[in-house]
Amino acid sequence: MDHYTEFLGEQTETLSPDDEDYEIRLREIAESFRGYGEALSDFIADHGYTDALSDVDAKVKFIREKFKTADMKSPRDIKKWFSPKMKPDRDTIFQICFAFGLGIAETNDFFRRVYFDRGFDCHTISEAVYYFCIKNGLTYRDAQDIIRRIPPQEKIKAIPQREVLYTGTIIEYINSIDSTDELVEYITSNINDFLYNHATAIRFIRELWTEISKDHGLARQEGEQIKRSFTDEEDYVVAGPGASTWTIFSQIIGLRNELADDYAVKSNRSISSVLKQNVLMPLNAGDCFPSQQSIDALMRGELKDNDLIRKMLVFLVFYTYWAKIIIRHKNELYLRTDADSERCFDTMNKYLLDAGYQELYAGNPYDWIFMWALDDENPLWAFRFFIGEVFAVKEEEAGAND
């Protein structure tokens, strides 16, 4: 798996939009990303599996033996895990981690490298219990016994308008105890704080979007630089006074006015049709991609899933960082230094870690887009160029089907 990550990391450094074969190489890279089944195959190979990676039945047998050794009932649909675009749910992933005897760091790494999602979400009752059990060497059966002692609750749809209990505080407490009774008492006493999650990430997103969209905020100031740097013929969307979410979003991803107007009418300001089954957005890269609709929902405090919120955070931190640099230098085409990109990378990872998410990972096709852009001389416009290619591919497909 290290070789795989190294290969994708190398592509972020060598692929340039100026290359003559840019489009061809971009498609080749998109096709090289590994899905869940392939990543799981590599994982079991690193954990004792010695038969052929192409032998699905042998892989299933190996995994079932791991479950049996851990005194766990194995899931019925293991064979489906090796089918294209098939991913089990989060609880099943935790079962795999218990079956293979993974520790806290190894479990988080499994979620990052194999499942492309955050690790423990300790604002969820079951995952807080899993964290405690894995930390203390307890079994999956022990975890289920603990969960049954806690009154069942349903998640709420919005973060409460009061002081919230952040994930870091929960983890800090769990790290300080080793008694199951203390854990049950803590969760039960704070049960209302286990009915929501993503509080830190949503707070970050609200702050970032406010900084971007407010009167004379980053979008408007960067828009002024766009108008100074490009001719009328290029006609990019720019945010003026009172700009809508769609206008600002269109500016961030680099849409031209005609295209933005077209999608505002025919797709109700949605680009999901462009991202769906697009060869340049492999695996889950296009799923939950930031949109006008998701920005508005998150600003209203409506809870969404891990993938959407993490992707939104990456998207907004990336834009905010480079918009500030462009505004500071008064140059839309400012050529970044190595230190600029390193600081951006570190800033993005800090936001992710502070919000309880995994760091950027080149093996994740969504993360790869931004990591690749950071190596370009103008990262924001490299990102916009990539999005332009995504639209071009979809237009080519539509033309071929006419």
Tell me how far apart the alpha carbons of residues 363 and 34 are, in angstroms, rounded to a whole number: 8
- Give which of 275, 271, 270 is closest to 286, Cα–Cα: 275
pLDDT of residue 87: 84
CA 356, distance to chain mean position in Å, is 12
Percent of the chain scoring above 90 in pLDDT: 73
pLDDT in tens, 116-158: 999 999 989 999 999 999 999 999 999 999 999 998 877 766 6
Angle at the Cα of 211 from the Cα atoms of 205 and 214, rounded to 5 degrees: 120
DSSP E strands, 172-216 = none
**Confidence band (pLDDT; 50, 70, 90) for 193?**
confident
In a 13 Å sphere around the CA of 263, the CA atoms on its Cβ side amount to 21
State the average pLDDT over residues 325-354: 96
Residue 300 pLDDT greater than 60, yes or no: yes
Output the pTM of the full model.
Answer: 0.90
Q: Answer positive or negative: Cα dihedral of 365, 368, 373, 376.
A: negative
Task: Single out the residue of 312, 300, 292 nearest to residue 357, CA to CA.
Answer: 312
What six digits make up the tokens of 203?
Answer: 């707070």
Report pLDDT for 160: 64
pLDDT bracket for residue 166 (50, 70, 90): confident
pLDDT at 247: 97
**CA neighbor of 150 nearest in space, from 120, 130, 169, 164:** 130
Residues near 163 by Cβ (< 8 Å), separated by ≥ 6?
Answer: none
Please report, for residues 160, 210, 277, 400, the alpha-carbon distance to residue 280 in angstroms, rounded to integers and kept in the order given.
Answer: 38, 30, 9, 17
159 CB contacts (<8 Å, ≥6 apart)? Answer: 196, 198, 199, 202, 301, 303
Kindly state the average pLDDT of the residues 367-384.
Answer: 96
Q: What are the distances in angstroms from CA 249 to CA 50, 149, 177, 372, 401?
A: 49, 46, 45, 21, 29
Across the strands, what pairs with 158?
302
Tell me which residue of 92, 42, 22 sits closest to 363, measured CA to CA.
42
For residue 257, pLDDT over 70 is answered with yes
> Taking 90 as the threshold, does the pLDDT of residue 368 lie above it?
yes
